[in-house]
């Protein structure tokens, strides 16, 4: 596997933002750009070839979700999936339960729905970053129609107890959507066991292409299409199918299914743990969440999130970038500047500490040499930032 | 420049700072250039409230268009580029003081506060934290080290029409030592010509004029919208309009509506034009009078910063500039207590305005400056 091996010598530790395509994925997609270019809705042979490719991809995704083929809908990615779940199920007067650590694709959709008479309860996480299922239960109302909780958090990697939440949904008659974008390729999927009605994933987080994703829609779930204009995807998502993207997604998912079980995650967790221990050995640092009573919370294997005393995270991200290391320090706001992570703040960190936190999210292809290199570069960068006594602002108060 | 340096260019998305980036990036001297934009104010924050325009015009700092322009220049030059979020600090150090000053009946000058707290202090700090040795900005000013005095000197630029030294009087020696002003020797037309030569698409982009966080330029709208957002009331500072002889000639709705020298909006009938002479924040009295009465012989300034001299210990002949568009006037400067000076003008000066800064020049050099009290 050569993905993430950069000829430019850069070290990429921002896999939760996006991942490179695997060479196998590029290969699988290749014929569908030029030779097999047909429209899957066409009757002729060219169309049928495209249709076959999509149907095969759907089978792969069904195996991945543990669902029936007909329950897989291809779309443009995680944001569309999240939007579809909320906009497609909720009507004026309905109540939504979600969490304050969701992706903006859920949070902003919920905000928008407020204007149309949908009320939302945002359940806060424990300091560990875990959502307590009892908090979900306590938020249930007679008019609760949907519960939307993410599988794995993008900032902390903490894996939420979705099966328990699924039981609550089943007991109370609410629909259950899981934003599983950050869990795909990292934990084993089983939408039946989770009791989910809707599950969203995205291609580019699992070494697939950008701009393509898929959604599990449990049979009979009355979710309105977000995009209309054709009978594609059983009328659940209009628009000519992105055949190369769908083929690439399926290939990436096929590989991801294996890597969840073939020891890749153990190796990845080992390197993550080494990196984490090395960073935490620096004075004035600490792990963000991921601990329950001193014990590790369930977490995906590639992510760690660490705060640093007495510095601004934004500066550290830039300093590391200029040294060839890509990490993340919060979420990008409209201008591209960094804002403190809303996830960390929801976990109880103050704005300053949340803004002085870094997320390292490793690619599966990460090497021990890369981890060592980061651990060699980081102390000096941190020291430089901390050594800066504020430059005097002169006498102007 | 034997050792390779990293220089952080403060990029606003305008012609001047973009040209600075292009000049430094294309020197081919092996120095590394990094572009930084300070995100200072969310232009959408108060949009549409109390008459503030919905869509900010281009040329407002931190408008998305300007960040986009800066990013495009960095891409064109092939330099790393980052937007640094300083909204919180900008609000605390610039917007809040701006609001308080107006409410206290003074006429604040946010650009100097921004230069001191954000552009030079914070940017330099950020630059150093990412491994840069110096910052470069698109200000029209000259700074150089004078061996004899052992001090960094700030001087007026070649293009006196673009002179920005008035806003830079607060720079410390350390800040001056780590700052480059590559445009100091150029005129604005020359800068545009350099921009064209470097292939910058924004070479013809118009200059921005207004206060960056007040789109539309109406500070009263801004005060109202900002205080409302903060859940604060505009304090009731309504009071009397009085003539210079003490006679009450009318009422006004609040002192924050006035600035010294203002003529419009007084709403009193008078055979000859009336101007605001004085605003008393304690009694809420606004004194008005004839143009001639606006002239004063002296001013006092505090919160001083000295550049060409370590300290003012004896009277000194200077030219004093009391607002951005003011032609510096001869004055004698003398110490007047701790961190305060008095300037006695040779000729009385019109509309000395508390809240503005007074900057003192010795020839082309900035001696120092302070805030008019």
Residue B248 Cα, gap to closest chain A Cα (Å): 36
| A319:B129 CB<8 A | yes
Residue A392 has what DSSP assignment? P
| The CATH number fitting domain B236-289, selected from 1.10.3210.10, 1.10.287.70, 2.30.110.10, 2.30.30.280 | 2.30.30.280
Interval B249-253 mean pLDDT:
90
Exposed / middle / buried, residue B209 (Cβ in 10 Å: 0-12, 13-18, 19+): exposed
Complex prediction ipTM: 0.80
What is d(CA A97, CA B310) in angstroms, rounded to the nearest whole number?
A: 64
Selected for mutation to probe chain A from B44, B129, B302, B372 (highest A CB count within 10 Å) is B129
What is d(CA B303, CA B361) in angstroms, rounded to the nearest whole number?
A: 17
Q: Write the CATH number of the domain with boundaries A23-259.
A: 3.40.640.10
| CA-based nearest residue in chain B for residue A352 | B88
pLDDT at B248 over 80: yes
How high is the pLDDT of residue B1?
42
By Cβ distance, the residue of A338, A391, A393 closest to B85 is A338
Listed by start position, the domains of chain A span 11-20+263-387, 23-259
How high is the pLDDT of residue A334?
65
Residue whose C-alpha is closest to residue B41's, from B107, B86, B97:
B86
What is d(CA A100, CA A342) in angstroms, rounded to the nearest whole number?
A: 8
Task: Please state, in angstroms and as integers, the Cα–Cα distance from residue A214 to each residue in A25, A67, A81, A231, B138, following that order.
Answer: 16, 13, 7, 17, 49
Which chain A residues are closer than 8 Å to B175 by Cβ? 391-392, 394
| CA-based nearest residue in chain A for residue B109 | A396
pLDDT at B135 over 90: yes
How high is the pLDDT of residue B206?
86
Give the model confidence (pLDDT) of B267-286 as tens digits: 777 788 889 998 998 899 99
Interval B303-323 mean pLDDT:
96
For B297, the token pair is 């012989």
| B121:A390 CB<8 A | yes
pLDDT at B308 over 90: yes
- Please give the model's pTM, rounded to 2 decimal places: 0.85
Listed by start position, the domains of chain B span 6-138+182-197, 236-289, 295-372
Residue A148 Cα, gap to closest chain B Cα (Å): 29
How high is the pLDDT of residue A333?
67
Residue A276 Cα, gap to closest chain B Cα (Å): 22
| CA-based nearest residue in chain A for residue B113 | A396
The dihedral through the CA atoms of A219, A224, A225, A226 has a sign that is negative
Going by their DSSP bridges, the two strands B316-321 and B329-335 should be labelled as antiparallel
Do A11-20+263-387 and A23-259 have matching folds?
A: no
Residue A299 has what DSSP assignment? B
Chain B within 8 Å of A8 (Cβ-Cβ)? no
For A158, the token pair is 């903490």
How high is the pLDDT of residue B56?
55
A/B interface, count of CB pairs below 8 Å: 98
Residue B63 Cα, gap to closest chain A Cα (Å): 8
- Least confident residue range of A139-153, B186-200, B242-256, B324-338: B242-256
CB under 8 Å to A112, separation ≥6 — which residues?
A: none
How high is the pLDDT of residue A61?
98
User: DSSP letter string over A59-126?
Assistant: HHHHHHHTS-GGGEEEES-HHHHHHHHHHHH--TT-EEEEETTS-HHHHHHHHHHHTTT-EEEEEPPP
Sheet with B285-289, side-by-side order of all strands: B248-252, B239-243, B285-289, B275-280
What is d(CA A235, CA B247) in angstroms, rounded to the nearest whole number?
A: 80
Q: Mean pLDDT of residues grouped by 10 in chain A (397 residues)?
A: 54 96 98 96 95 97 98 98 98 98 97 97 96 98 98 96 98 98 97 98 98 98 95 93 98 96 95 97 92 83 95 90 92 74 94 92 97 96 76 36
Residue B198 Cα, gap to closest chain A Cα (Å): 25
Which chain A residues are closer than 8 Å to B80 by Cβ? 321-322
Interval B341-367 mean pLDDT:
94
Sheet with A303-308, side-by-side order of all strands: A285-287, A303-308, A357-361
Of all residues in chain B, what percent carry a pLDDT higher than 70?
96
How high is the pLDDT of residue A326?
96
- Least confident residue range of A45-59, B92-106, B180-194: B92-106
| CA-based nearest residue in chain A for residue B64 | A335
How high is the pLDDT of residue A8?
67
Q: Write the CATH number of the domain with boundaries A11-20+263-387.
A: 3.90.1150.10
Q: Domain B295-372 belongs to what topology?
A: Elongation Factor Tu (Ef-tu); domain 3 (2.40.30)
Give the model confidence (pLDDT) of B319-334 as tens digits: 999 998 899 999 999 9
| The CATH number fitting domain B6-138+182-197, selected from 3.40.50.10680, 1.20.120.420, 3.40.50.720, 3.40.50.620 | 3.40.50.620
Residue whose C-alpha is closest to residue B366's, from B181, B211, B118, B210:
B181
DSSP H/E element including A161: none
Q: Which residues of B touch A (CB under 8 A)?
A: 6, 34, 37, 39, 42, 44, 62, 64, 67, 71, 80, 82-85, 87-88, 112-113, 116-117, 120-121, 124-126, 128-131, 170-172, 174-175, 303-305, 339, 371
- Catalytic annotation present for B111: no
Of all residues in chain B, what percent carry a pLDDT higher than 90?
55
């Amino acid at each position: 596997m050569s993905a993430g091996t950069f000829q430019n010598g850069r070290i990429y530790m921002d896999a939760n933002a996006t991942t490179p395509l695997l060479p196998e994925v590029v290969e699988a997609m290749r014929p569908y750009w030029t030779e097999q270019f047909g429209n899957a809705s066409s009757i002729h042979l060219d169309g049928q070839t495209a249709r076959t490719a999509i149907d095969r991809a759907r089978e792969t995704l069904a195996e991945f979700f543990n669902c029936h083929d007909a329950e897989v809908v291809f779309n443009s990615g995680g944001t569309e999936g999240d939007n579809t779940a909320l906009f497609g199920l909720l009507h004026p007067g309905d109540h939504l339960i979600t969490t304050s650590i969701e992706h903006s694709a859920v949070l902003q959709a919920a905000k928008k729905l407020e204007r149309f008479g949908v009320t939302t309860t945002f359940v806060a996480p424990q300091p560990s970053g875990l959502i307590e299922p009892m908090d979900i239960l306590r938020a249930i109302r007679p008019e609760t129609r949907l519960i939307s909780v993410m599988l794995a958090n993008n900032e902390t990697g903490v894996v939420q107890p979705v099966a328990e939440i699924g039981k609550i949904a089943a007991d109370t008659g609410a629909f259950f959507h899981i934003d599983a974008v950050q869990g795909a390729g990292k934990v084993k999927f089983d939408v039946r066991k989770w009791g989910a009605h809707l599950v969203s994933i995205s291609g580019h987080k699992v070494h697939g292409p950008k701009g393509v994703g898929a959604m599990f829609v449990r049979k009979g779930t009355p979710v309105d299409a977000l995009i209309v204009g054709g009978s594609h995807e059983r009328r659940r998502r209009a628009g000519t199918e992105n055949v190369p993207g769908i083929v690439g997604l399926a290939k990436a998912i096929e590989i991801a299914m294996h890597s969840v079980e073939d020891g890749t995650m153990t190796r990845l967790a080992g390197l993550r743990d080494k990196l984490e221990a090395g960073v935490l050995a620096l004075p004035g640092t600490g792990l963000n969440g991921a601990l329950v009573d001193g014990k590790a919370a369930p977490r995906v294997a590639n992510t760690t999130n660490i705060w640093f005393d007495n510095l601004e995270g934004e500066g550290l991200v830039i300093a590391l970038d200029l040294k060839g290391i890509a990490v993340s320090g919060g979420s990008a706001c409209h201008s591209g500047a960094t804002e403190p992570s809303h996830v960390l703040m929801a976990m109880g960190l103050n704005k300053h500490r949340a803004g002085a936190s870094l997320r390292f999210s490793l690619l599966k292809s990460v090497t021990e040499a890369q981890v060592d290199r980061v651990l060699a570069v980081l102390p000096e960068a941190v020291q430089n930032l901390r050594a800066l006594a504020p430059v005097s602002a002169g006498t102007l108060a | 420049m034997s050792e390779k340096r990293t220089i952080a260019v403060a990029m606003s998305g305008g012609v001047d700072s973009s040209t600075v980036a292009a000049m430094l990036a294309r020197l081919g001297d092996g120095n590394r250039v990094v572009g930084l934009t300070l995100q200072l104010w969310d232009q959408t924050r108060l949009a549409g409230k109390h008459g503030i325009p919905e869509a900010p015009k281009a040329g407002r700092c931190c408008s998305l268009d300007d960040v986009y322009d800066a990013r495009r220049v960095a891409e064109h030059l092939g330099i790393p580029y980052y937007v640094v979020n300083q909204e919180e600090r900008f609000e605390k150090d610039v917007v809040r003081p701006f609001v308080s000053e107006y409410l206290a009946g003074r006429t604040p000058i946010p650009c100097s506060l921004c230069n001191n707290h954000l552009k030079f202090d914070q940017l330099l700090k950020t630059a150093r934290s990412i491994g840069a040795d110096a910052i470069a900005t698109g200000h029209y000013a000259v700074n150089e080290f004078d061996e004899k005095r052992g001090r960094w000197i700030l001087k007026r630029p070649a293009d006196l029409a673009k002179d920005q030294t008035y806003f830079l009087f607060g720079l410390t020696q350390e800040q001056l030592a780590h700052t480059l002003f590559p445009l100091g020797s150029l005129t604005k037309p020359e800068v545009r010509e350099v921009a064209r030569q470097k292939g910058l698409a924004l070479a013809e982009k118009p200059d921005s004029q207004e206060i960056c966080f007040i789109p539309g330029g109406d500070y009263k709208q801004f005060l109202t919208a900002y205080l409302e957002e903060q859940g604060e009331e505009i304090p009731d500072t309504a009071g009397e309009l009085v003539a210079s002889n003490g006679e009450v000639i009318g009422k006004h709705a609040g002192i924050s509506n006035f600035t010294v020298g203002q003529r419009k909006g007084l709403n009193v009938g008078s055979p000859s034009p009336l101007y605001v002479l004085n605003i008393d924040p304690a009694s809420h009295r606004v004194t008005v009078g004839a143009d001639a009465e606006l002239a004063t012989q002296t001013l006092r300034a505090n919160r001083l910063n000295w550049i060409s001299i370590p300290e003012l210990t004896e009277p000194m002949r200077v030219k004093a500039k009391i607002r951005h568009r003011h032609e510096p006037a001869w004055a004698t400067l003398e110490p007047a207590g701790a961190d305060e000076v008095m300037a006695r003008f040779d000729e009385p000066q019109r509309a000395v305005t508390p809240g503005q800064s007074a900057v003192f020049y010795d020839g082309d050099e900035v001696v120092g400056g302070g805030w008019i009290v």
